[in-house]
Amino acid sequence: MATARVMSAATNTTGSCSLLKRPFFSLTKKAPNFNNNLRFNTTTKGVSKRSFSCKSIYNPNVQIKEEGQPETLDYRVYFLDNSGKKVSPWHDLPLHLGDGIFNYVVEIPKESSAKMEIATDEQFTPIKQDTKKGKLRYYPYNINWNYGLLPQTWEDPSFANAEVEGAFGDNDPVDVVEIGERRGKIGEILKVKPLAALAMIDEGELDWKIVAISLDDPRASLVNDVDDVEKHFPGTITAIRDWFRDYKIPDGKPANKFGLGNKAASKDYALKVITEANESWAKLVKRSIPAGELSLV
């Protein structure tokens, strides 16, 4: 029998952002009539209304609910709002918290190897373990940093990035490598500040890696850009690039490549990447771009 465990995903955070959604509404109840609401067709009986505003203030008070046993095919980590309704960590958590700070969802805790990821094609986009040919996927060795995603971002597979060898987006949210000392938990929501960006090219697809640090880390105040990372976390940028370059080699695949001269871009460049991915996500959920098999609920 599947088991379920519920726990807090984050402490209360408040922030403002562009392209934020209003607080969660039930799909079976009528939502308040905000201006410029967007209506989506879903597979549920109700309709989800979402509104975008540059002045939204949102407090993501959510819990996570585990269903099934870890390291099994049916294991899922769902996110619940404070009424117990399932919500999407990709679509329903705000990205921006103001002053260059962002929400970040841990998918893979540091020093672990199970390849956990948001199920972008499942309703409410829970976290699950990735599979290949029906088998659970693992990295060949532990990842040395907390790894996860930025909500409300999307790397558009129809957009060729002229700055990165014309590579197209990988159809996923933007990835974050969080370099703080504490080991995160699956589904944990952290407040992070970006420090650098690595333009990984995986089998021809652009798969950005934003290097960031949790505001709770003791050294967070010391690092504000890519040069600070090298000063206070010497060798970390190189280690991240080498890890993601080489992790597929044990499976007989070629090494991944990196654009931008094989170097980490600055914080300002990372912020540009995040902004563009947030804009792409907004087009996706407005259905200005075909969603394909992606879940928008």
* Candidates 58, 78, 138, 139; catalytic one: 139
* CA atoms of 237 and 249, how far apart (whole Å): 20
What is the Cα–Cα distance from 62 to 189, expressed in whole angstroms? 9
CB under 8 Å to 89, separation ≥6 — which residues? Answer: 79, 105, 118, 125, 126, 127, 149, 151, 187, 189
Q: Tell me if 91 sits within 8 A of 296, measured CB to CB.
A: yes
Residue 129 backbone phi and psi in degrees, to 5: -90, 130
Task: Count the neighbouring beta carbons within 10 Å of the beta carbon of residue 54.
Answer: 10
Q: Say if residues 84 and 14 touch (Cβ distance below 8 Å).
A: no
Distance, CA of 155 to CA of 170 (rounded, Å): 6
75 among known catalytic residues: no
Cα first-last separation, the chain: 27
Give the residue numbers marked as catalytic. 139
